[in-house]
Amino acid sequence: MDQSRAGVAAMDLGSETVTEWDPGVDGSVWSISAMGDAVYIGGVFGMVSGERRNNVAGVDARTGKCLAWTASADAAVWSISRASNDVAIGGDFASVGLSPQSGAALIEIEHRMMVVERDGARAGTDDRGAAGVEVGPIAPNPCSARVRIAFGIASSAVVRVEVFDIEGRVQRTLINRSCAAGEHMVEWDCCDWRATPVRPGVYVCRVSAGSCWKERKVVVSGR
């Protein structure tokens, strides 16, 4: 029986043999934290269980498959710890996902499937197999005439980018189409669906992919 494992392995304490659990990490794992049916790993790697995961990942403790959690880091993650609904990571990174986060980050996980990052954004997913979504800083913000919205998705999906007013009314749907995995950029001209400039105030940009979504606020100033 082939017991070779890449990056990380599980041992049966009774028989002292390697179990069938195999996330298939393509690099080095420096830290592990397990709780319940989830195992979180940090290190220097780019793929886990055949899916793109940069230096940090969550995997199913039973199957070894990736969780929907996609808080990728742009450099090595040396430590990772989970307690209750928080996952803390530390390392050499300067950003987590598309958000600046230097050296340390704290991520809250609700009901395993809901993710809220403490960087001024709200995010969630309703499906364990949904494509992960990241939304970068909206720039410029505040804005007056045109704003750029950067986003990334973990796997190909139908992506919908919408702008809401603070009361939750849709002002504009910027895109609603299939997008490949990776990073993308869209622009909003600060106009509603009638091509009328919106009033100054706070608006919410929501990026949805599958049953994942993430929101960021944008402030529109007077022209």
What CATH number has the domain bearing residue 184?
A: 2.60.40.4070
- Check the CA dihedral 21-108-69-54 and report its sign: negative
Look at residues 81, 97, 119 and tell me which one is the last residue of a structural domain: 119
Q: Are 140 and 113 in a shared domain?
A: no
Q: Is 128 part of a structural domain of the chain?
A: no
Domain range for 148: 133-220
Q: Please check whether residues 175 and 91 belong to one and the same domain.
A: no
Considering the chain, what percentage of its residues have pLDDT values greater than 90?
22
Kindly state the average pLDDT of the residues 70-85: 81
Mean pLDDT, all residues of the chain: 79
Assess whether 88 and 175 both reside in one domain: no
Q: What is the pLDDT of residue 44?
A: 93
Q: What is the pLDDT of residues 99-150, one digit of tens each?
A: 667 788 876 664 333 334 444 455 444 433 334 788 888 889 899 889 999 9
Q: Do 175 and 215 lie in a common domain?
A: yes
Q: What is the pTM of this model?
A: 0.49
Task: Give the strand pairing for 147-153 and 201-209.
Answer: unpaired
Question: Looking at the structure, do residues 93 and 145 belong to the same domain, yes or no?
Answer: no
**Residue 126 forms part of a structural domain:** no
- Residue 85, pLDDT score: 65
My answer on whether 94 and 149 are in the same domain is no
Considering the domain architecture, whether residues 19 and 113 belong to the same structural domain is answered as yes
**Residue 112 sits in the same domain as residue 198:** no
Q: How confident is the model at residue 60 (pLDDT cuts 50, 70, 90)?
A: confident
Which residue is listed with tokens 């970068």?
A: 136
Q: If you average pLDDT over residues 155-177, what whole number do you get?
A: 87
- What is the rounded average pLDDT of the residues 208-221? 84
Residues 44, 102, single domain; the answer is yes
**Together in a domain, 30 and 58:** yes
Instruction: Domain count for the chain, please give it.
Output: 2
Rounded to 5°, the CA angle 138-140-146 comes to 95
